Structure 1
Amino acid sequence: MKMFYPLEDQIKKFKKIVFVTGAGISQESGIPTFRGKDGFWKNNDPMKLATIDAFYDNPKLVWEWYNERRKNIFQAQPNLGHKAIAELEKYVEVVVLTQNIDGLHQKSGSTKVLELHGSIVRIKCSVCDYQEEILTKISGLPPFCKCGNILRPDVVWFGEPLPQDVWQNAIKFASQCDLMIIVGTSLVVSPANTLPIYAKQNNATLIEINTENTEMSEEMDIIIRKSSAEALPKLVSLFKNQL
Structure 2
Amino acid sequence: MKKNVVILTGAGMSAESGLKTFRDADGLWEGHDVMEVASPQGFENNPELVLDFYNQRRRQLLEVTPNKAHKALVTLEEHFKVTIITQNVDDLHERAGSSHVVHLHGELLKVRSTMGGQPIPWRSNLVLGDTCEKGYQLRPHIVWFGEEVPMMGRAMELTAMADFLLIIGTSMQVYPAAGLIDFVPKGTPIYFVDPKPSIKGNPLNKLYVIPEKATEGVPTVVADLIDKAP
Q: TM-score, normalised by structure 2?
A: 0.91
Which residue among 203, 207, 212 is the counterpart of 2:196? Answer: 212
Give the drift of 1:207: 1.2
Residue deviations 1:208-239 (CA, integer Å, cap 9, x gap):
1001132x334471111001111111223334
Return the alpha-carbon distance in structure 2 between the equivalents of residues 167 and 202 of structure 1.
Answer: 21
Question: Contact 1:208–1:222 (CA<8 Å) still a contact in 2?
Answer: yes
Q: Indicate the SS of the match to 1:94.
A: strand
One-letter amino acid matched to 2:95: K
Which residue among 130, 150, 160 is the counterpart of 2:147? Answer: 160
Return the alpha-carbon distance in structure 2 between the equivalents of residues 148 and 90 of structure 1.
Answer: 45
Q: Indicate the SS of the match to 2:117.
A: coil
Structure 1 residue 180 corresponds to structure 2 residue 168: no
In the alignment, structure 1 segments of 5+ residues that lack a partner are 1-13
Structure 1 residue 222 corresponds to structure 2 residue 205: no
In the alignment, structure 2 segments of 5+ residues that lack a partner are none
Number of aligned residue pairs: 226
Q: TM-score, normalised by structure 1?
A: 0.87
Return the alpha-carbon distance in structure 2 between the equivalents of residues 98 and 224 of structure 1.
Answer: 19
State how 1:104-119 maps to structure 2 within 5 Å.
104-119=92-107
Which residue among 223, 231, 239 is the counterpart of 2:217? Answer: 231
Partner of 1:102: 90
Return the alpha-carbon distance in structure 2 between the equivalents of residues 235 and 141 of structure 1.
Answer: 45
The verdict on how the C-alpha distance between 1:217 and 1:43 changes in structure 2, with shifts beyond 3 A counting, is farther
Q: Indicate the SS of the match to 1:208.
A: strand
| Greater fraction helix | 1
Give the drift of 1:34: 0.8
One-letter amino acid matched to 2:211: R
> Identity of counterpart residues, as a percentage?
33
Question: Contact 2:191–2:221 (CA<8 Å) still a contact in 1?
Answer: no
Question: Contact 2:89–2:142 (CA<8 Å) still a contact in 1?
Answer: yes
